[in-house]
Amino acid sequence: MWHVTDSMRRVRTLALAVAILSPLPLAAGPRVRHVKWEDLPMVTGRTVRISLPGCDVTGKAGMVESDALWIDVRKTSNRNACPKGRLRVPREKLHSLEMQTKGKFFRVGASALAGMLVVPLGYAAGTYGVDRCDFWSSYCPHGHSAGGVLAAVGISAAGITGAYFAGNALDTRWTVIEIEP
């Protein structure tokens, strides 16, 4: 039989582990890859950031030609110099770029952790907070109301969704690609 103190110790240990391990991905420096122009098609279809004379652009990398890279610009720092839409970046102006990569560790981990923590919280809010039933037993003398069920499902879904998006932000990485001559 679990006691409340055992549960509190487990939660405290888990919170301490998360607090210690959470800065690790932020401490890692940017990854750098050295690539020849012939190997540059690896960025095709990926989100890239490029600094050009007069502007910085972010967009999807398109076709790589022998003398240029095509980009579908979605964000730009200077609309006059580099407007949104298709942009041809000549080979002689492109020395490095950043490519976005994504993992799935934090999305999966945060969603699972939120499920373990938020679902019981949602159940407690629905059972005790809305229905005024005993939290520790599943018996409710006057029955569970639709409001209690809606509160439990809503709190659980909101917590898991928020954790997924937080994990998504942690999973996004930028790899610097330096183009060798």
CATH number assigned to the domain comprising residue 67: 2.30.30.100
46: which strand partners? none
- Does any domain span residue 15? no
pLDDT at 136 exceeding the cut of 90:
no
Q: What is the pLDDT of residues 137-180, one digit of tens each?
A: 566 666 667 777 788 888 899 999 999 999 998 988 999 999 98
Please indicate, yes or no, if residue 143 is contained in any of the structural domains: yes
Task: Tell me what percent of the residues of the chain surpass a pLDDT of 70.
Answer: 73
Higher local confidence (pLDDT), 122 or 21: 122
Looking at the structure, do residues 35 and 98 belong to the same domain, yes or no? yes
Domain stop point among 102, 134, 162: 102
Let me know if residue 6 belongs to a domain. Answer: no
Task: Please tell me whether residues 121 and 94 are part of one structural domain.
Answer: no
Strands across the sheet with 68-76, in order? 31-36, 172-180, 96-102, 47-52, 55-64, 68-76, 85-90
CA distances from 86 to 3, 24, 143 (A): 62, 37, 61
Over residues 52-92, the pLDDT tens digits come to: 988 999 999 999 999 999 999 999 999 998 899 999 999 99
**Residue 12 confidence (pLDDT) above 70:** no
How many structural domains is the chain composed of?
2
Close Cβ partners of 39 (under 8 Å, ≥ 6 residues apart): none
